[in-house]
Amino acid sequence: MRRTIAVLASVFIVVFGVWQFMENWAGRPFTLDSPVTIIIERGESFSTIGLRLTADGIVDSARLLKARARMRGLTGSVRAGEYRFESNLSPDRVLDRLVSGDVLVHSVQIIEGETFSVTRHKLLEAPGLMFDLDNVTVVNVLAMLGLADAHGEGQFFPDTYHYVRGDQASEILVRAWERMRLQLKTAWENRAADLALASPYEVLIMASIIEKESGLEKDRREIGGVFSRRLKQGMRLQTDPSVIYGLGDAFDGNLTRADLKKDGPYNTYARHGLPPTPIGAPGRTALNAAVRPGTGTALYFVARGDGSSQFSDTLDEHLNAVRRYQLRGDQ
């Protein structure tokens, strides 16, 4: 009897010692010289995962990690994905992250005013994002996404979009399109009673021009007012960004008089009314400026060179402003 008790006591001591060792090991943070990113593929065995974590210095023993996972019943619960590990993570915290699917989150940003071609290239270059837009162009993008039968320029709201490795580029575009629908709907519902624009799509076109003309919120409503008055009076918009968009790859950074005289659907010096499509992605303030343009009498404006604009009521005033701020460069 005494011998049995002694054996049981010895076993208890050993088991307790092992348990205590494992608890101490599993709770002790390990130090990394620099952050480490690993990708766990679907169906990968826990043994393989443990060996990779050990090779990268995230833990010091694949065998102990597997034993700890078995103790906690986690060997079959690891989620696939991209994980980033930094210093001072214990083996238990590593296991917690692998089981919870606390994967690395990436982001891609659509900037106010950027064209669809720029957005598409960003999605192509975004790390970990599956690019499924090989045959997509600005003309067919909405149709191929099953969203609408319309031109795609200006249809994706400028914002930061988060994704995880394996997400599709088309999913980002759908989210951006839905966000633009919401913002455009809100803007249209809050439009001025005497707005010169006949539809939400015309608002989108106007907002895209305002977005390109100025980055200053205080000037955008005034610019919207100039364009609104021009439309109402039958004047041409005469906006350089629209002409530049129409030139496409032929634009070399220098807008010439010949460019302004060359007829085309986006040449607002040669044609009345709005261009046929937006020329970029407008943000919230540009949309608001399009639906609630500033009041006043100005029919012209010119960039001062410091980001702001000089507004003028008459052509003579405008020509003087052009000579002051652009031809001579005086500030």
Whether the predicted pLDDT of 216 surpasses 60: yes
How far is Cα 78 from Cα 72, in angstroms, rounded to an integer?
12
Whether the predicted pLDDT of 125 surpasses 80: yes
Whether the predicted pLDDT of 152 surpasses 60: yes
Region for 48 from its dihedrals, namely left if φ exceeds 0, alpha if ψ lies in -120 to 50, beta otherwise: alpha
Range list of β-strands (E), 1-152 = 36-40, 81-85, 105-109
Report which of 49, 36, 42 is spatially closest to residue 89, judged by C-alpha positions.
36
Which backbone phi and psi does 248 adopt, to 5 degrees? 60, -135
Percent of the chain with pLDDT over 70: 93
Q: Look at residue 88 in the predicted model and tell me its pLDDT.
A: 83
Contact 315, 300 (CB under 8 A): yes
Structure tokens at 156: 């994706």
Average pLDDT over residues 309-326: 91
pLDDT band (50, 70, 90) for residue 11: low
Q: Look at residue 170 in the predicted model and tell me its pLDDT.
A: 97
Residue 203 to residues 183, 211, 219, 267, 289: CA-CA distances in angstroms?
Answer: 11, 12, 17, 18, 9
pLDDT band (50, 70, 90) for residue 297: very high
Percent of the chain with pLDDT over 90: 79
Whether the predicted pLDDT of 277 surpasses 70: yes
pLDDT band (50, 70, 90) for residue 331: very low
Q: Look at residue 330 in the predicted model and tell me its pLDDT.
A: 43
Q: Look at residue 10 in the predicted model and tell me its pLDDT.
A: 58
Report which of 55, 63, 105, 108 is spatially closest to residue 84, judged by C-alpha positions.
105
Whether the predicted pLDDT of 6 surpasses 60: no
Residue 176 to residues 52, 74, 152, 160, 281: CA-CA distances in angstroms?
Answer: 37, 37, 12, 9, 10
Whether the predicted pLDDT of 15 surpasses 90: no
Residue 168 to residues 15, 155, 164, 174: CA-CA distances in angstroms?
Answer: 49, 18, 9, 10
Residue with tokens 């790390």, as numbered in its chain: 127
Q: Which letter, b or e, does each residue of 301-324 get, where b requires 16 or more Cβ atoms within 10 Å of its Cβ?
A: bbbbeeeebbbbeeeeebeebbeb
Contact 127, 177 (CB under 8 A): no
pLDDT band (50, 70, 90) for residue 8: low
pLDDT band (50, 70, 90) for residue 329: very low
Average pLDDT, the chain: 91
- Output 314 or 14, whichever has higher pLDDT: 314
Average pLDDT over residues 290-312: 93
Q: Look at residue 87 in the predicted model and tell me its pLDDT.
A: 81
Which backbone phi and psi does 36 adopt, to 5 degrees? -125, 135
pLDDT band (50, 70, 90) for residue 24: confident
Q: Which letter, b or e, does each residue of 90-105 get, where b requires 16 or more Cβ atoms within 10 Å of its Cβ?
A: ebbbbbebbbeeebbe
**Per-residue pLDDT reduced to its tens digit, 47-71:** 999 999 999 999 999 999 999 999 9
Contact 205, 277 (CB under 8 A): yes
Q: Look at residue 248 in the predicted model and tell me its pLDDT.
A: 92
